Every structure is written in C-alpha cells, then in structure tokens.
A and B are shown apart, each in its own frame.
Chain A
C-alpha cells in the first residue's frame, strides 16, 4: 500500500539522508526507497543474514544497533568479528549485485532494527539513482578487495607501518599535481617532467578533470622505442585508463588498486577534479623500514640464533606487507631476496666454522644453487629446501675428494636452514645429498641423461632442477650450466614435446557444471592445480626459446615475442599466476596464524565470492595457456 508520503516516510528519508550514500542521493530517490522499506528487528545474537539463507534477497540499512559480520562459523565462536556495521551502514552489496548468497554471517550484536529493501527494489534503485549506483559499484570494487581488507583487519593489530598504510590519501599527496592539456606536444610534456623532476604528468580538461596520464614508464615503449614524433599531442600516447580514488580513501586502497590493475599511479579526485597523484613509490616508502632493518640484521648476524630471529622477521614482514596489499610479485621477490640473504649468511658462517675459507675449496670454488620454487624466486612461506652444489675440481683432485669435503658442511647448512624454518626436503633434494653435490661436468652428464631419456622420473626432475639458479658462491658455474642447458634443450624438440605432454596431464580444475571440479575433500590444490600449469608452460616456452630466466613471469615475458604470443594474453597469464600465488601466500599465513600445518589445499566454498570469481578466471587463463602449449606441440 504505497500511500502518499506521510510523516513516517519523510522522517525515515530524513534519517537515511544523514548517512552515506543516501546523503548524496536526490530526495525523491530516498523517498522512493523509504516507501518500499520494511523495518525488522533482531535480538542480540540473532542472525540477520547468513549464507544458508540462499541468494540475498534484501538490502539492509541499520536503523539502530550494531551488526557484526563473521567470516565463518568456526571463527564466530571467538571474538573474531571482521567487520562491524553501525547505524546508517548498509549490507550486503556484493551478494545482491551478483545475486548470490552472502559469504559471511551477519549477526546482531545488540537490539538491532534494520530497514529492509527487497532485492528487486534495490536493483531498481541502482538504476534510478546515479549516486547510489556509484556508491554500490565503488563498494563492490572495495568488496573485490575485501579478501584483502579482511586480512588487513585481521592483521592490523600493532605495527606502525600498518597505520601509515591506513592513512587517508589526502595525507600522502606530496605536492600539487602537475598537469597539462591533452593537446600539449609530447616534447613539451617531457621537458616539463624533466625540469621538475617528476615521473608523471596528468592531462586534464578545462574543468580540471583528469583525462589521461603519461608516465616516464611510457616514454620507453610509446615514445623512444616507437620513435614517436615529439610534436604529436600527449593525448596520442597517454593512458586514458585511469584509476581514481577520493581523498578520504586509504593508502592501502590505493596500493590494492595498483596491485590489482598493475597501475603505477592512482589519481586522487574530489568532485571530479584532480586533487593529487599517488605513485607506487609514495606508497612503498610507507613500508620499507622493515625491509632495510631485516637485511642489515642478516648481514651482521654472527650466529644461528640471530639468523633464526631474522627468519621470523622475514615472515612478519611478509605478513605485514600482505596485510597492506603489496603485489604478490613484489612480495615473493622480497621474500626471495631476504631468504637468499639469510641462506648466504648461513653458508658463510658454516664455511667459516668448517675452515673451508682457507682451503683450496674456499667458497669461491663452489656455487650453492637454489632449485624449484626457490630457483624461480617464487618461494611462499611453506617452501621446504631444494638446493644443490656445483663445485670446481682443483687440479690433481678428484670430484669425490671435493665432495667428501663439502658434504658435511652442506649437511650443517641444510640443518641450519631447517632451524630457520625451511624444512628439510623430504625428497632429499638438498646439497648434502651426494647425488646433488656435483662438479659442473657431473651436472651436465646428469641433465643430459634426463634429456635423452625423457621418462617420467626424468621429466619430473626437469621440473625441479631446470629451475636452478646461483644463490651463493661462484655464480659463473651456474651460468655455465644454464647456458649449456639452454643450448642443449632448445633444439631438442622431442624432449620439449615430452615435457609439454607431461605438463598437459595436469589440468586446471574447472568443472563443466559447477564452478570448480573438486577432489573428495572439496578442496583445490593451489600449487598442483593452480600454479603448476603456469610454471610448467613457462619453463617449456623458456627452454624452447633458449631463455635463461628461471622466474615464471620473466620466462613468459621473455618467450612472448619469439613465440609470437599475443602480449595481452601473456600479460593475463602473468596476472592469473600472481593471483593464485597471492591466494597461496594468504592461505599459508592463515595456517601459520592458526598453528596449522601448512598446505596448499583450499576449499573454494570458503573463499569469499570475489576471490572465487577471480580464481575461476585464473584457471581459465591456465586453460588458455595449456591450449597454447598443446597447439605448439601438436598435442
């Protein structure tokens, strides 16, 4: 019975209008909404909304009281609210827009009254009111990041670095943005950028609204390499794909946007007008302190206990950075870099302790190599050790003699690494294994045998060992082996074909009917099903094109041109790979926090919906990548 708006409807509209986003909406739209509202009551502890209720069918605005969101049932028992909603706040947005159940439980924390709008009216309102639509879609963008936000909330207890990532962008903007008109010639733009020492220039229209951005990064590709006529207007080279945030958005939101879209700059706009620019660098300075401290602590450590502390610090830093939304590529690189430093320091200390430094086998005479994910710079937090040694054989000595000298030291190094949180490899892929402490010639012989055989064990070994890289010592040994391998495999189409066939046996777990095809325990293995298709394909592409890289992203980038892979596709594969990597990192963190053994198994049903969607897309990319691999090898 929609009567003419009476005082109750007006009072309700007024109440709504004292809160965002209703304060931004036109009065008639708020009235329209008020006339379609029901008022519901929830006693303390009562569930307002839960996944079991099925597709979300109402939009809730809190009239009074506090509603708390809980991520899952297990945690709900503890005091683990991941969000708290107060008067005037509304929920759920993502579930309504995507017409699915909510992923968490919304529970009344005290006597709660909620205005409730039916889903169809909610959707109609998003069409009616531009302001409401903006709010919802922006919130959706936030919800897309909510996986990260949730973690941020969980992780954000103490660290001061954290707080700085929670400061509003308005506090981070360092200077007035330098702008130009889109018609400005590129030459003039470059001169201004050079003169002012700035990394980017925003083109704005007459109303100070940003229309494009041109950055130093673009100079290389779009200007220098393209040999662009510098008299052309900047509009011909600028990116018009802009990401803007309001000044009150938080620093980590900007970091997340950058991480998600691969942008290096985020524009801060107020009422459409440009208010400032935030660069990746601006954000990174907010969080670098820890990194520097840890690396200098490692360099100065002179005993294992100090290094154990550093290992814990590395995990803590990773934890913080993850909470801040640092991109997984940077994150894994930082972890790898610090782990390398730590490993190198352990080797140094053990070599000194064993007096190896003075012998003819001083550490310059061998090279400690990292294998597997460590070799690819893709370590997560549950990586066990995969390492080996390449050594020089001095004149007059036999490889066995050298080996016997090195093995005990290698054993101690392996144990020290274990003490620092890198578990001993159950498959004994470690430098203390006599099979993996070899001279350069012995390694070549070993690799040659695998390449010739191409049987399943050899192919499996190739996936671990062919990702080797120097970590410590005489790196020229590893480089020589790498060059030899590249030359040896590049032309060996039979072996590449075998590797490709082997890689294609591992299909991404996408179901035909449901989203994912799952195992008996309803889980996906993010490593086996998620990461491996990318890693394996990249390795094959790299080996096929004589690439020397070990990182999956670097391999994809390097191989794209010689294999004529469409750059956009190669880029999408990289992003998909990174997203899965991020999920793994988060999973491991949660497991560490919960004191559980680390695994790569994730139940997609327990992911929040948005992560689930992205994961599905990532698997689709894996499928495309495999299709490409199959095509290249007629499989």
Chain B
C-alpha cells in the first residue's frame, strides 16, 4: 500500500465550499483566443519558488497583472504568498525577499490556488520562460487541488526574439529585454514586480506585433510555436 501511494498520490481534500469554487471555475467558458487584443484580457504571471529544480522545488509566491485592451490594469493584479510548512533556504530567501515569517504566514496553499484561479478566470496566460512558471503552477494545482491545469500560455521569451530577430542572439533573459526598452523593475524577483515588467515588455512588443498584424492571442501562440521551431533547427 505504501509503495503504491507513490504512484497514486492521495486525492487532495477540499472542503465542499472549496470544491464548489473549483467547479465554478471549471464551468467558466473558455476564452476566445481569436479575439483582438483590444477586446481581450490577458494575465501576465510570474512565480517565485524555493529553487530552480523543476522536479523538487515548489511554489512560494504568485504575482500576476492583467493586460486589458492593451493596457495594464494596475488594480487588476494579484500577489499571493503561499504558506510553507518550512521556510525555504536562506540563499533562496535572499533572492525573492520573502522571509521565513512571511512564508509561514502566507495563505494556505489550497486557498491561495483557488484565489489565483478566481483571479485568472479563463484569461489566457503570458509569461517569460513559460516552462518554469507553467510547471510550477500546474504541479501545485495538481497536487493541492487535483486540477489538471491545461491553460493557454504564450512565452515572451520566444515572442520577443521572433519580433526582434536582429536582437535575438544577444537578448535572452527578461532583464536583457526590459533593459532594451528601458523598463525599470521596482523590485526584481518579487513575483508581482516581475509580472509587471513582463507585462510592460508585452506592451512594448505591441508595435512590432501590429506591423506583423498579430492581432489576437491565437496568432501569438502561432508565433510562439514558430519561433520554438526556429530555435530547434537553428
């Protein structure tokens, strides 16, 4: 029985109220990805974790801000620190600045993730280096509330070089791109501040998108895909 549980982890236990919230989120209609940017709400997300190991490390904080009709809506933003049983390592704390006490006082994980879903709705997601954010969020959702999170994501780490091929070789990290556009970050490695920088980067890429007539999220996804392919063969 014991060895089996490694393959079938215990189903997370949700209160009826929590289960209802989850069901309500699941019942939301999917976003129409063909809508124009001007009619869409995108959520730009960034996470802080206990480390960079996708297999072992876990979610500490989620920061997110909405881009609605091409503008960042500052109030439509989310910042959640997840309660940790055990604070992350000292070196890790020095990166994201969420101290041990804050981690221990954070929002209970199930609650935190349900808040995130309620905030997100079915708006498509945008991030920089999606693999990392997506993996962390998906795993947390799976483990904590049993949700199989299949959500549209677009990765600016592919979109930016696709729109600025001349810069693609030299610009790789988020900092490279934000520096290029002169975007300042009020608190680097704070999930919300990084989400804001990412959102600003997304806005700054808009001019090139317009030139390539990339007018919907769907077209962004296509561009994302194409660039991954370019990277693979290049």
Q: Give residues in A with beta carbon < 8 Å to B.
A: 1-3, 6-9, 11-12, 14-15, 34-41, 43, 46, 64-65, 110-111, 113, 115-116
Contacts and interface: CB of A to CB of B under 8 A. Distances in A.
A116 B68 CA distance: 13
B157 interface: no
B181 interface: yes
Nearest to A10: B186
Given A38-B74, A40-B70, A6 B192 contact: yes
B189 to A, nearest CB: 12
Contacts of A8: 63, 65, 74, 77, 79, 192-193, 196
B154 interface: no
Interface in B194-227: 196, 199-200, 203-204, 206-207
19 contacts: A1-B66, A1-B119, A3-B78, A8-B63, A8-B74, A8-B192, A8-B193, A14-B186, A35-B74, A35-B75, A38-B68, A39-B72, A40-B70, A40-B72, A43-B204, A46-B207, A65-B182, A113-B183, A115-B74
Interface in B46-94: 63, 65-66, 68, 70-79
A323 B204 CA distance: 40
Contacts of B74: 8-9, 12, 34-35, 37-39, 115
Contacts of A64: 182-184
Contacts of A111: 181-182, 204
Nearest to B119: A1
A65 B204 CA distance: 12
A15 B196 CA distance: 14
B187 interface: yes
Given A41-B206, A111-B204, A15 B186 contact: yes
Given A64-B182, A64-B183, A116-B71, A7 B78 contact: no
Contacts of B79: 6-8
B78 A6 contact: yes
Interface residues of B, number: 31
B203 A41 contact: yes
B190 interface: yes
A136 B73 CA distance: 25
Contact of B200 (A6, A41, A43, A110): A41
A476 to B, nearest CB: 75
Nearest to B201: A41
Nearest to B186: A11
Given A111-B181, A113-B200, A3 B75 contact: yes
B123 to A, nearest CB: 12
Contacts of A7: 79, 187, 190, 192-193
Nearest to A14: B186
Given A9-B75, A38-B71, A43-B207, 15 more contacts: A1-B75, A3-B75, A7-B79, A8-B63, A8-B74, A8-B196, A11-B193, A14-B186, A39-B74, A39-B200, A40-B70, A40-B72, A41-B203, A43-B206, A111-B204
A113 B196 CA distance: 12
A43 B181 CA distance: 10
A218 to B, nearest CB: 54
B201 to A, nearest CB: 10
Contacts of B72: 38-40
A339 to B, nearest CB: 54
Contacts of A37: 74-75
A8 B74 CA distance: 7
B16 to A, nearest CB: 26
Contacts of B184: 64
A134 B192 CA distance: 34
Nearest to B70: A40
A571 to B, nearest CB: 50
Contacts of B186: 11, 14-15
A46 B208 CA distance: 13
User: Most A CB atoms within 10 A — which of B63, B75, B119, B183?
Assistant: B75
Nearest to B66: A1
A479 B192 CA distance: 84
Contacts of A15: 186
B120 to A, nearest CB: 12
Nearest to A39: B72
A111 B204 CA distance: 8
Contacts of B192: 6-8
Interface in B29-57: none
